Structure 1
Amino acid sequence: MDQFYDRLPLQSAFGTLSNPARYTPLPEDWFVGASDIVGSTQAIAEGRYKTVNMIGAAVISAQINAAAGQAFPFVFGGDGAAFACPPERAETASHALAAVQCWAGEEFGLQLRVAMVPVSAIRKAGRDVAVARYQASGDVDYAMFSGGGLSWAEAEMKQGRFNLPRAGAGTQPDLTGLSCRWSPIKARNGQILSVLIQPEEGAEAVKVAALIDAVLKVVGDLDRNGHPTPAEGPDAGWPPAGADIEARATHGKLTVGKRKRQILFETFMAWVLIKTGLKVGGFDARGYARTVAENADFRKFDDGLKMTLDCDDATAARLTAVLETARMAGTIRYGTHSQSEALMTCIVPSMQRDDHVHFIDGAAGGYTQAATQIKSGSA
């Protein structure tokens, strides 16, 4: 079993990850998996943002289940996801990725692009994929990526290169643990701001790192660095708004109706326990909600910086001024999108453990909409 990712050090200071020296290049024989939803902007305009996020998280959920406990680097992008795997897992990972593509089309009528790209091909093109492990909490860490390789792989995928063969009709991925049960997270300070920052082609790494440091300094003035989830955890309203989508995503051999009834019962019990503070069988629902907040992935390095922030208008204006100055200097490209709520999509292998992961995006398109707003300093 490849031990590369297991041996990477866990890094607890998010700000240090603007330094490229904190990252380790992937082994030459590894693969990068890429995915994104065709027409995601239109789907979001139609109000299908929960579905878009669910499909993006499903890519990761299927890989986690296929990996059977082996840790690997992955990143959630809103309307898709990316990951990396060693060569001995490439075939299994490809099958899981193709299964999600089939499922997304048959269950939700959305086309998911999928590709597996050799790291060697990325390096031959003059890019790289380097990773670091950021410890978000005592039980969860997330991969951070640098080198431009993920962006290159996604661009190649969109051109029809490295695409995977389609799975047979009816192929179902294993999405055990995937859920969408928390209520939308309302902004407490004025707005939920989605921010996407990418280095401009040819920009000096030291200048990009300095810009990221300046951005994190501005964001550092926000409560908990702009974390959109309250420290006590998100609200568990009932019935959950995402019950239909989760039922369609995880019904397996059950009917959608039966799976939805299961979800409604489970979430009702959780809602009661959170509201009353009662503990059943040693399960502390309020403690679980606090852990959800600690484990949530609201900021990441993904060939640049992505953040979903609970932000006041004054801080948003300061942030925009810093970004615009850097754009004009030809250092970065950036996009932002403001909305009133954030969404959380979760992968929970077991509610008895604290290693569950939670992906946050803006509720009105978030990262997808920010990407459409990117302004280029070279334009």
Structure 2
Amino acid sequence: MMVDGSEQTFEIGPFEMKVDQEAQDNSFYQALAPFDSFDDVMRRDRYRPLPDDWIIAVTDVSHSTEAVEQGRYREVNTAGAAVLAAISNALPDLQFPFSFGGDGASFAAPGTYSSIVRDTLAKTAAWAEDAFGLTLRIAVIPMADIRAQHLDVLVARFAPSSNVTYAMFAGGGLAWAERKLKQGSYAVPRAPMGVMADLTGLSCRFAPISTKNGVILSLIVVPRDDPTSFEEIIQELLRMLRSDDPDLHPLPAEGPLPAWTGGDLDHAIKTGSRKITFVTWAAECLRSVLARVRTQFGIPTGGFHEARFRRELVENTDFRKFDDGLRMTVDCSSELADAIDARLEEAQRRGACFFGTHRQSAANLTCFVPSPTQANHVHFVDGASGGYTFASVKLKRNVASSLGAMNKAIGTW
């Protein structure tokens, strides 16, 4: 409806926003005031609707569950993060909202960049398939089509540190876009063989990060029938998880350690191929060993401040997010994980949410570092043996089971 003849109001679940037509330009995201306590993630006044002329891009790795079951979780994570690295390099002057989902990524951008976005994503998909044999699905959707479904994409900026911000999404539009992606709608085909996007800054040089409390818990919680009950369960979860408690951070306070051996993932990022000669592999291994030794013993390297970089890395990591549902990767005790599962089971039974969790013993880190001397590097964390992918599988099973039980009850009424 219209308010005072000048502002349009959208009411989506617990979120009600007003569209300010004057703010719909390329500086939309940069102009959003960030919040620094994740406990505020459900506050309605933190979110603003995307401008009408923007687009939503959603991507995911097809058959990611099978790839993860084969032990290829690092490749899947790398393909998902590559989307954000490629777009950041293609549009270096644009600040845009994005979210990493483990086996894919989503972001929004002004519609004027639609051709650049499509071309860059097509090249990224070509690289993912040529280098890793992974099919990266892509959909680019105008905001007008989302609002035609009486949904919206509302965005907030969460600042985990003074160095970076991560986008939070609400309104139901992003979830709808992901469903359309999996249905094959709005698809963008891959680029020809041998073409790849600029992935400068993307890397996977850190070893898996072992749990310090017993469990690396990957958690996804999405709304069901009652928006108020969903908001209440999210707030309760944040209290249970003490969302600002550094002990729940999946990374150690001093930062992760580089892997002992040089991997072919970084080689594939640079060259577009995992094929690596013995000489190159040996050189990469030597560099990795030296990096590990320098890190463990605090040996300085030129003008690079290793200790500061690792401290910033921990502060900047995206282990908690909201994109039409809560996603978290936390390091907790098995007792706390049991309590969370039990509470979510109860909330799901009464219609407040659907959820999926997955437990593992380590976390995996994928990094985008445009410049090691700047503090604005971003780091995407996921569970090291399934993470968000397996949590999503359990979420889908819970949805199917609940809907099946509902249909059965209706059929016997």
Shorter-chain TM-score: which interval? Answer: over 0.9
The one of 230, 236, 251 equivalent to 1:208 is 230
Structure 2, unmatched stretches of 5+, are: 1-24, 405-413
Distance 1:118 1:222, change over 3 A: closer
Alignment equivalent of 2:252, drawn from 214, 220, 230: 230
Q: 1:210 to 1:225 in 2, by over 3 A?
A: farther
Shift of 1:302: 1.1
In 2 relative to 1, CA 92–9 (structure 1 residues): closer, same or farther, beyond 3 Å? Answer: same
Asked if the contact 1:150–1:303 (Cα under 8 Å) also holds between the matched residues in 2, the reply is yes
Cα distance between partner residues in 1 of 2:162 and 2:291: 23
Aligned to 1:152: 176
Deviations 1:66-121 (A, max 9, x none): 11132111100011100000012111111111111111111111111101011111
Q: Compute the displacement of 1:250 (Å).
A: 1.8
Equivalent in the alignment of 1:250: 270
* Cα RMSD for the two superposed structures: 1.9
Q: Which range moved further: 305-314 or 212-221?
A: 212-221
Distance in 1 of aligned mates of 2:170 and 2:284: 38
Q: Is the 8 A contact 1:30 1:119 kept in 2?
A: yes
Q: Is residue 251–residue 259 contact of structure 1 (8 Å, CA) maintained in 2?
A: no
Residues 1:96 and 1:315: Cα distance change in structure 2 (over 3 Å): same
Cα distance per residue 1:301-355 (max 9 Å; x no partner): 0111000111101111221122112111101000000111110000011111111
Of 269-278 and 29-38, the range deviating more from structure 2: 269-278
* C-alpha distance in 2 between matches for 1:119 and 1:15: 28
The separation in 1 between residues aligned to 2:39 and 2:244, in whole angstroms, is 15
Q: Greater CA deviation, 62-71 or 221-230?
A: 221-230
1:251-294 Cα deviation digits (max 9, x unpaired): 25997447656644543443232122232333221221121111
Matched, 1:89 2:113: yes
Distance 1:378 1:213 in 2: 25
1:353 aligns with 2:403: no
SS of residue paired to 2:169: strand
Residue-by-residue CA offset, 1:200-255 (whole Å, 9 max, x unaligned): 1x422x32221111000000189516211011101224225xx2112112225997
Is the Cα contact below 8 Å between 2:318 and 2:379 reproduced in 1?
yes
1:178 aligns with 2:198: no
SS in 1 for 2:381: strand
2:339 corresponding residue in structure 1? 318
- Within 5 Å, which residues of 2 pair with 1:298-377? 298-374=319-395, 375-376=398-399, 377=402
1:25 aligns with 2:49: yes
| Aligned residue runs from structure 1 range 291-302, under 5 A | 291-302=312-323
**Residues 16-53 of structure 1: CA deviation (Å, up to 9, x unaligned):** 11123311110111000011111100011111111000
Which residue in 2 is equivalent to 1:199?
A: 223
Q: Is the 8 A contact 1:29 1:118 kept in 2?
A: yes
Larger Rg: 2
Query: How far apart in 2 are the matches of 1:290 and 1:327?
Result: 38
Mapped to 1, the partners of 2:216 and 2:394 lie a distance apart of 16
SS in 2 for 1:306: strand
**CA 1:237–1:103 in structure 2 vs 1: closer, same or farther (change >3 Å)?**
closer
How many residues are paired up?
375
Equivalent residues of 1:189, 1:310 under 8 A apart: yes
**Residue 274 of structure 1 aligns with which residue?**
295
Aligned equivalent of 1:73: 97
Confirm or deny that 1:289 pairs with 2:313. Answer: no
Q: Which segment drifts farther, 252-261 or 223-232?
A: 252-261
Please tell me whether the aligned partners of residues 19 and 209 of structure 1 are also in contact (alpha carbons under 8 angstroms): no
- Contact 1:189–1:312 (CA under 8 A) maintained in structure 2: yes
Secondary structure of the 2:41 match is: helix
Q: State the alpha-carbon separation in 2 of the partners of residues 338 and 250 from structure 1.
A: 32
Give the 3-state SS of the residue equivalent to 2:206 in structure 1. coil
- Alpha-carbon spacing, 1:106–1:4, altered in 2? closer, same or farther (3 Å): same
- The percentage of counterpart residues that share the same residue type is 42
SS of the equivalent of 2:373 reads coil
Cα distance change, pair 108–280 in 1 and its aligned pair in 2 (3 A): closer
Find the counterpart in structure 1 of residue 64 from structure 2: 40
- 5+ unaligned residues in a row in structure 1: which ranges? none
CA contact (8 A) 1:20 1:146 kept: no
Residue pair 2:37, 2:244 contacting (<8 A) in 1 also: no
Q: Which of 185, 190, 195 is the equivalent residue of 1:166?
A: 190
Q: Which amino acid aligns with 1:278?
A: I
Q: CA deviation at 1:164?
A: 1.2
Greater alpha carbon shift after TM alignment, 143-152 vs 164-173: 164-173
- Quick one: which amino acid aligns to residue 211 of structure 1? I
Please state how far the C-alpha of 1:358 moved relative to its aligned partner.
0.4
1:2 to 26, 36, 59: 26
Question: Following TM superposition, by how much is the alpha carbon of 1:149 offset from its aligned partner in structure 2, in angstroms?
Answer: 1.1
